Amino acid sequence: MPTETSKPAQAKRSSLLAKFIVLGVVILVSFSGLVVVSSRGLSSLEVTMDSMNSVYNDLSSQSYELQILAWEAQKYLLDAVYAAWNGTELSAVEIRIKEMELALGAARDKMVALFMLDELSPDQFEALDEVYGNFEMYAAPFATVSNAFQAGNAPTEAEVEKVGASFLDLDRAMKKLDLVVRDDTERRFSASKKTVRTVYASLAGVVATGMALIASVLVLTLLSISKGIRTLSGFIAGVGAGDLRTLSPMTGTDELGIIASNVNGLVLALRSLISTLKDRLDALAQRERELIANIEETGAAVVQINGNIVGNGERLDEESRAVAELSAAMEQAARGVDALGGLIGRQNEILGSSASAVEQMIANIDGVARSAQGASEASSELKREGQEGRSRIHNVNESVQAITQVSKNLNDAVSVIQDIASRTNLLAMNAAIEAAHAGESGRGFAVVADEIRKLAEQASAQANDISRDLGKVSASIGGVRSATDAVTQAFASIVEKTGPLDDGIRHISDAMAEQGTGGAQLLRELAQLKAISGDVRRSSDDMAAGNGVILGQVVSLKAINGAVHGSEREIASGTAEIQLAVQETTSLAAGNASALAEVLDAAGRFIL
């Protein structure tokens, strides 16, 4: 039935499962943000390192190639000078000169290529410009020697020494360029290390923020759940003790609010059922008391009837003796007729009082029958209410089973969170191992991994606490179920005991019907006896008119006396049956009173 705490079925519900899902989403978002920030920082670092490596490789390789070309040009020049000074053929010298010019041109092109490189630092550009100036200074004496060879003359020693001195200056400038390139590369590596530390610091900040957010959501969720569980557990304990005076103060649309609403519905149903049961039992007890009073009155009337019947029997015996004496001594007819008239008058009075007693007995029997009919209807109503109560308790048991299933679903959600925490802890351990392999550069990742591991341990501990709280909820639900089982047994006992009560009331009704039939028959017999007494009185009057017909009347009187004795025996048998029925009815009423007392005691356990 609807309760005052029911909500529309279309309302959106924020359940405990939804809270745990939100918590999982927060964790996933935090780690996703961590991965995104890490990826961006590492991508930026990778681009920087690639750029540095590219510039360093270009500068290093081209500077090295420039040195090789300069040395080749110098080698070819010295080979040509050596060949010219040793008198080698001109064709061989020309070959050396061509190779020397080609090497010198290649060196010049390499110089131009170096100037075309991007991202040259000022120091690198200055060193490269110095190399270029020394190269031009080297090219001038080199051209003088080359022109001398082309003119067919051998260069002088001074010209060769000048070329050698210029080459030494060029070589020093190229070595300086190589040193500048290395210094700039080291500075850029230092800047890259700072960038890495900055990335690590950013990652640590993101992790700290994520942990704080997760911890806040987790603490708030657990506080709200544990508070609701404690409140609901205390209320259910009171209901289990039989206190139905109050309802649960909890409201809301989550699982705990739904449980509280269902428990409130159970309390309202029990309150209405117990109140109705007590009212029905009180009414039935009142009718039972009325029935016992009517039975006692009927018993007293039956005792009075038995006394009257005994008196009538004695008087009939006296009449029989009088008739015998009348037959033996006709001479005493007058006196016998007078005595017979007096006896008949007394007999009519007794028959009148007997008829009144029988009519009163029949009226009492009708009252008892009506009370028995009312008691039967009340017993049927009690049985129907008991069956309805048992059906309601069965519905409550189904609600408790649904609550138990929700609790199991929450336990499954907690298991999922514990599994996520375990996997997170494993990932943190793997990250720590990788950071240890990375050495000094992986120390920041080790710190992050350790924080993630601690967060996973905290999440696992909180999940264990939630699991224990849910265990307490399951225990409380078990208490509710035990209470409903006890109520179910009480209603089963009520239904079981109303069966014998209903049978006893039917027996009372049947006995009252038999008593009514016997009373009616007794009333008819008394009327017949009264009519016979009238006939006897008329006969005695006739005897006073003439003794001739007395003997015939005596014969008739003997026959009538036998009939009266038979009627007396039937009346005695009927009153005996009535007395047995009264005794049986009294016993059944006592059993009904005991059963009603037990039912009232069972219902009195509940406080409304």
pLDDT along the chain (608 residues), means of 10: 39 54 72 68 63 62 70 73 65 63 71 67 79 80 77 76 83 83 78 74 74 76 75 78 76 75 83 80 78 76 72 68 63 62 66 67 69 69 70 70 69 70 73 72 68 73 72 70 69 67 68 69 69 66 62 66 70 74 75 72 68
pLDDT of residue 8: 36
Distances from the Cα of 559 to the Cαs of 59, 178, 247, 320, 323, in angstroms? 161, 166, 83, 10, 11
Name the DSSP letter for residue 253.
S
Enumerate domains of the chain plus CATH numbers: 16-237 (1.20.120.30), 255-603 (1.10.287.950)
Longest dimension (CA), the chain: 219
pLDDT of residue 13: 43
pLDDT of residue 335: 65
pLDDT of residue 597: 73
Q: Which helix (H) or strand (E) holds 422?
A: helix 333-438
Enumerate residues 6+ apart whose C-beta is below 8 A from 446.
Answer: 431, 432, 435, 436
Return d(Cα 399, Cα 405) in angstroms, integer. Answer: 10
Q: Are 361 and 301 in contact (CB under 8 A)?
A: yes
pLDDT of residue 158: 83
pLDDT of residue 213: 76
pLDDT of residue 3: 42
457, with CB counted inside 10 A (0-12, 13-18, 19+), is middle
Q: Are 60 and 181 in contact (CB under 8 A)?
A: yes
Query: Which segments of 195-336 are extended strands (E)?
Result: none
pTM, full prediction? 0.32
Q: Are 444 and 203 in contact (CB under 8 A)?
A: yes
